[in-house]
Amino acid sequence: MPIFTFHIWSMTLAPTWYGLMYAVSFYIFFLALKYQKMPEKQIDTLLFATILWVVLWGRIGYIVLYNFSYYREHIGEIFMLWKGGMSFHWWALWVIIAWYFAARILRISFLNLADQCVWVVPFWLLLGRIGNYINGELLWLPGYSGFWAKIVNGVSFFPTPLLEWFLEGILLGGIIYWKRNNITYPWQLGVWFLWGYGLARFITEFFRSPDSQIGYLLWDWMTLGHVLSIFMIIISIFLHIFLKIRNLRDRKKRLNYSKAFIQ
C-alpha cells in the first residue's frame, strides 16, 4: 500500500509502508550501534551485512518456504519486494550467520557482538507489525468488530499484527533491553530472543489465518509458523544449555589457573 504517489517526468515514486518500516528499522539499528559507541568500521560492516542478508535471505526464505510454486511461475515478481513477502525465521538465521562472518572480518568476539546487536531486533519487529496492520496483512477472524478491528475491502478482521506488535516488540523488546546489562554468559540475550520470539510467534499463530497456499500442516491447527517456532524454541534451549556449560567450564579453568599462579 503506497504512502503517496509522486510523478516526476516519466518516473513514478510510490514508497510503501512495508518499505518504510524496513528503512526506519535499519536506521534504528544504526543509531543503536552509535549509542553503544561502536567504532565506525564495525558499524559500517555490520550495517551492510545486516541490510544485505535481511533483504536477500528474508525474501529467499519466503519464496522457498511459503510460496515456491507461485514464484516458480512468476519469476519476475521475485524482485518486487514492495509487495511484501519476507520470512522472519529464515532471515533471523542468516543474520546470525552474517554477524558471525562480520565478527571474523573485524576480529572481535561473535558472541559479544551478537549481544550488542540482538536487543534491537524486537524493535524492528515492532515497526514491521505496524506496517502489517496498516497494509491489512496477517489478519484473522473475519467478522470481528471489537477493539481496533481492521477493515479490509469492507470486511472487519481481528488485528493480529497488533497482538504480535505487543508480544514480539513491546514485551520481548522491553525484557531484553532491561536485561542487556545483566547477563551471565556470552550471547545470553540472543538465546532469550530466540526463545521469546519462538514462544510469542507460536502463540500468535493461533490468531492468524494460515497462508492460503499452505493451510494447516497437522491437526487442523498447526501452521508452518508453528513448526518453525518450535524449532526456534528447541534451538534456544540447546544453546542455553551448551553456552551455560561452556561458561561454567571456562570459569573453572580460570579459577584453577589463578590458584596455580598464587601457589
Q: What is the DSSP string of 95-130?
A: HHHHHHHHHHHHTS-HHHHHHHHHTTHHHHHHHHHH
Q: What is the pLDDT of residues 78-137, one digit of tens each?
A: 877 766 677 787 778 878 888 888 888 888 888 888 888 898 889 888 988 888 888 888
pTM: 0.81
Where would I find the beta strands (DSSP E) of the chain?
Answer: 6-8, 11-13, 150-152, 155-157
Q: Find the range with the poorest average confidence among 138-142, 173-177, 229-233.
A: 138-142
* pLDDT for 193: 92
* pLDDT for 84: 66
Q: Name residues whose C-beta falls within 8 Å of residue 209's C-beta, 6 or more positions apart in sequence.
A: 138, 139, 140, 141
Q: What is the mean pLDDT of the chain?
A: 83
Residue 15 above 90 pLDDT? no
* pLDDT for 94: 79
pLDDT band at 261 (very low <50, low <70, confident <90, very high): very low
Collapsed DSSP state (helix, strand, coil) of residue 57? helix
Average pLDDT over residues 193-198: 94
Average pLDDT over residues 208-222: 83
pLDDT band at 195 (very low <50, low <70, confident <90, very high): very high
